[in-house]
Amino acid sequence: MTFKELGLSEAILKSLIELGHNKPTLIQELAIPHILQKKDVLGCAQTGTGKTAAFVLPAIQSLMMNERSAYRNIKVLVLSPTRELAIQTRDNFRRYGMYTNLKCGVVLGGVNQRSQVETLRKGIDILVATPGRLLDLMNQRIVKLNSINTLVLDEADTMLDMGFIHDIKKIVAHVPEIRQTLMFSATMPNTIRNLAKEFLKAPVLIEANTTSLTVDKINQSVYFVDSRNKANLLLEILHSEKTTSTLIFTRTKHGANKLADILEKNDLHNEVIHGNKSQRARVSALNNFKSGRSKVLIATDIAARGIDIVELSQVINYELPNLAESYVHRIGRTGRAGCVGTAISFCDRSETKYLSTIQKLIKQSIMVVEDHNYPMEQIAFKEQKKQAFSNRTSPKNSNRKFKSQTKKTKFQKNI
């Protein structure tokens, strides 16, 4: 299947060639025809599968085909959970629409609203927004949603996790009933299915990535290590691996800051993003990481959702997430668009229960690295480890062991 066979116009095909997108990804191949036919779509796909273009391309196509009115008004609204994702999606509209006259704007919190209001006043066809700021601007009567004909709820599961449900309901109440609604979510729990029943009409369900499909192309491994030794082990890995860029996850903002200090003291310059950082700081951290100025980015789950970093060589779960789905979100940052990625997880005694649920979700056992310099003290631990590997449903890989690539030499560490 080619993009041309999907029925996309010359202007879009030209931009795709320029961007080096040779053929549609699975989600694009499955979703675009239905979206072009104006059907509602519920898409199960996470970032990294090409799901943004799956809705951006047909949205641009429909906008181009519609007669443009004398002045611009918002016809496509995309709701995004995070500011980073909103900016990325706006950039996608601009890139794929570079040979059209369409205008796309973004509204998001954490920054002064002045320039966003200015963009709205000048007139745009597409608006990408985070729910809080959009509601704010609606309440100030700065933005009107009465001309929208396509509504996209992107990363719906993250929006629910972040507690946006009430804001979303208030926003959707102002969007015309007669519209096309597209909803994308990395996971499909009942809460998402219920939301889909409320907002979508006879949706086509598209499952382009099952969880195991997404994680299959990523080399995953786990190190059992006491929490007090995690920083030492991390330093050893970061010093020994020839990686171009590493994204490290912690569970808490405090944990992220603490780890950042340890790495800095050990000459590992790094960036940190979490919810307490200002929008400006988050954008600058992300830019430094994306441009390669900093090789290490430390992030909490929510801050990192949806961010698209090309050539991210590895993800390290310094702390395992307490929600198994977050593991899939996290490691999905690597191994994108066909590249092979690496995901390393540290698991201390208190985290074996998380590891067990993760393995059930991904339906495979994660390879254990036993040969490293900070093995866990064995007392009482064997039992916990057994627990982490029990009750798995049809594991694909046996509990394989492989040799650590960390050198045996110890580094001078400042912790």
Q: Which residue, 21 or 133, has its beta carbon nearer to ligand AMP?
A: 21
Distance in Å, CB of 163 to ligand AMP, minimum: 23
Asked if 315 and 330 count as a contact pair (C-beta separation under 8 A), the reply is yes
Min dist CB 262 to ligand AMP, Å, is: 31
According to the binding rule CB under 6 A, does residue 330 interact with ligand AMP? no
Q: How far is CA 294 from the centre of its chain?
A: 20
Q: Partners of 315 in the beta sheet?
A: 247, 343
Piece of the chain touching ligand AMP by CB under 6 A; list 24-32, 269-277, 316-324, 375-383: 24-32
Residues forming a β-bridge with 219: 342
Binder to ligand AMP among 336, 354, 366, 384 (CB under 6 A)? 336
Q: Among 15, 40, 47, 155, which residue sits at the site for ligand AMP (rule: CB under 6 A)?
A: 47
82 binds ligand AMP (CB under 6 A): no
Residue 335 touches ligand AMP, criterion: CB under 6 A: no
Residues in the chain: 415
Stretch that binds ligand AMP, among 18-26, 165-173, 200-208, 276-284 (CB under 6 A): 18-26
**How far, in Å, CA of 364 to CA of 349, rounded?**
20
| Binding range to ligand AMP, per CB under 6 A, among 46-54, 142-150, 196-204, 273-281 | 46-54
Is 52 or 180 the residue whose CB approaches ligand AMP more closely? 52
At 347 the three-state DSSP class reads strand
Please answer whether residues 365 and 359 qualify as being in contact, where contact means their C-beta atoms are separated by less than 8 angstroms.
yes
Could you tell me which of 124, 102, 105 has the C-alpha nearest to residue 113? 105
213 phi-psi bin (left φ>0, alpha ψ -120 to 50, beta other): alpha
> Closest approach of Cβ 281 to ligand AMP, in Å?
23
User: What is the helix, strand, coil percentage profile of the chain, to 5?
Assistant: 40, 15, 45
337 binds ligand AMP (CB under 6 A): yes
Least distance in Å: CB of 308 to ligand AMP?
4
Q: How far is the CB of 52 from ligand AMP (least distance, A)?
A: 3
Window of 21-29, 129-137, 290-298, 379-387 that interacts with ligand AMP by CB under 6 A: 21-29
Q: List, in sequence order, every residue forming a beta bridge with 346; answer none if it has no partner.
A: 223
Choices 49-57, 104-112, 241-249, 262-270; region in contact with ligand AMP by CB under 6 A: 49-57
Q: Out of 6, 31, 49, 225, name the contact with ligand AMP by CB under 6 A.
A: 49
Contact between 285 and 245 (Cβ < 8 Å):
no
For position 21 contacting ligand AMP by CB under 6 A, the verdict is yes
Beta carbon of residue 140, minimum distance to ligand AMP (angstroms, whole number):
31
Quote the tokens at residue 330: 């996290």
Total site size for ligand AMP, rule CB under 6 A: 15
- The string of DSSP letters for 187-207 reads ---HHHHHHHHHH-SSPEEEE
Q: Tokens 């996290």 — which residue?
A: 330
CB atoms within 10 A of CB 307: 22
Task: Number of helices (H) and strands (E) in the chain: give both, helices first.
Answer: 17, 15
**Residue 318 exposed, middle or buried by CB count within 10 Å (0-12, 13-18, 19+):** buried
Query: Segment near ligand AMP (CB under 6 A), from 48-56, 133-141, 345-353, 372-380?
Result: 48-56
> C-alpha distances in angstroms, 27 versus 30, 40, 281?
5, 15, 33
Name which position in 29, 40, 48, 209 contacts ligand AMP (CB under 6 A): 48
Choice from 12, 15, 25, 102 touching ligand AMP (CB under 6 A): 25
Q: What's the one-letter identity of residue 215?
A: V
Using CB under 6 A, pick the residue from 34, 51, 251, 372 that binds ligand AMP: 51
Which candidate, 131, 130, 66, 148, places its Cα nearest to that of 100?
A: 66
Cα separation, 391 vs 400, in Å, equals: 17
The CB density around residue 69, as the number of other CB atoms within 10 Å, is 9
Q: Which parts of 246-305 interact with ligand AMP (CB under 6 A)? A: none
Partners of residue 271 on adjacent β-strands: 297
Residue with tokens 């598209």: 206
**Selected range binding ligand AMP among 42-50, 160-168, 180-188, 368-376, rule: CB under 6 A:** 42-50
Q: Does 29 bind ligand AMP (CB under 6 A)?
A: no
Is residue 90 at the binding interface for ligand AMP, with CB under 6 A as the rule? no
Nearer to ligand AMP, 233 or 273 (CB): 273
Choice from 173, 310, 379, 380 touching ligand AMP (CB under 6 A): 310
Candidates 32, 41, 53, 60; binder of ligand AMP (CB under 6 A) is 53
Q: In the complex, which residues of this chain contact ligand AMP (CB under 6 A)?
A: 21, 24-25, 28, 47-53, 308, 310, 336-337
